[in-house]
Amino acid sequence: MAGLYIHIPFCKKACHYCDFHFSQSLGQIDEMVDAIGEELIMQSDFLGRDTIYTIYFGGGTPSLLEGPHLKKLMGIIQSEYVLSSNPEVTMEANPDDLTEEKLTTFFNLGVNRLSIGVQSFNDKHLKWMNRQHTSKEAIDTFHLARKVGFENISLDLIYALPGENHENWLNDLEMMVGLRPEHISSYCLTIEPQTAFGNWLKKGKIKAIDEDFAADQFEILLDTMAKYGYDQYEISNFAQPGYESQHNSAYWKDEKYLGIGPSAHSYSGKFRKANVANNAKYLKGIKEGEVPAEVITLSPEDQVNEYILTSLRTKWGCDMSRLKTKYNVDLLSEQEHYLNKLASQDLIYEDEGCLILTNKGKLLADKIASDLFIE
């Protein structure tokens, strides 16, 4: 099983929290799509002709693509790669890009899963984050997607946004579950240094995230998701039964994937490859017949630690037999004292040979994982 990720590195405007690679030079989209098409052909052997089960258009803002762009890329994928009979094809999208005509085009070209960046249903918060859309546009877009025929829709929400209490967050969650999307992704607001928010924090225009406030909102999120039948299969991701993101689940389960486009990452199982995060350098490299990228060889220790980090974030947990069979690591024996301590604090438990975090432990997931890393 393998996945294909395609990075579309363009946005209409810069959201104040975002540190992903993108450009606002929308006039380059045609040239970039041509280059991405070339890279798809150049990289077609990277996965060893493994069957592709998932295709994910991320960004940036891939919903800026027009029909001919997507038709070209899907055509190359279908001719150059071995696809499963019904691959999951996800398109990340902003509400303000999606007309009924564009949604219909995407649907007819094979997109069968939408991931819509709502982020908040509060217009003041949307403006503060420099989002392009309004709450009404997000809701209208969701209903348009349903009308077109999309039966697998994911919506994104951000929590720990400024507020004197949790009223806005409770309202966001009420609006979200009222729509009944198949999938919900919810992330804590983070303030990265190279963003507008990072600059504002440095200048004292905004305050740092209150960790206790964020933890309270995370617990409210968990309670609400459970109440409305959404299964938390990864710390930030919730799904109705059978609607887990196959693409992201493959990442967390240590499956191989190929990333195409500027700043895209690939994983072969033994090494990572990171494409250059610069549109001009990427376009120049592709024109010269080379993919400008850095290859990072992963030591056995790196592979183990990455698996611990990602697997502990999921409901499936960290499979001890996999570590022992594949890497000759007996984590239960090597970390017996620490794991017993975590269990006594109701942070982790073992189920059928897998280490799984409790809800309380999920708040400390990264810390627990790093403590379990091998050297």
Name the pLDDT band for 342 (thresholds 50, 70, 90): very high
The domain ranges of the chain are 2-252, 300-372
According to the CATH classification, is domain 2-252 in 3.40.50.2300?
no
* Tens-place pLDDT, residues 103-153: 999 999 999 999 999 999 999 999 999 999 999 999 999 999 999 999 999
CATH class, 300-372 region: mainly alpha
Q: Are 252 and 314 in contact (CB under 8 A)?
A: yes
Tokens 């829709």 -> residue: 153
pLDDT, position 254: 85
* Tens-place pLDDT, residues 343-375: 999 999 999 999 999 999 999 999 999 999 998
pLDDT, position 213: 95
- With a CB cutoff of 8 Å and minimum separation 6, the contacts of 228 are 177
The whole-angstrom separation of Cα 272 and Cα 61 is: 24
Q: What is the pTM assigned to this prediction?
A: 0.94
- With a CB cutoff of 8 Å and minimum separation 6, the contacts of 226 are 232
* Tens-place pLDDT, residues 42-93: 999 999 889 999 999 999 999 999 999 999 999 999 999 999 999 999 999 9
* Tens-place pLDDT, residues 170-229: 999 999 999 999 999 999 999 999 899 999 999 999 999 999 999 999 999 999 999 999
* Tens-place pLDDT, residues 269-314: 889 999 999 999 999 999 999 999 999 999 999 999 999 999 999 9
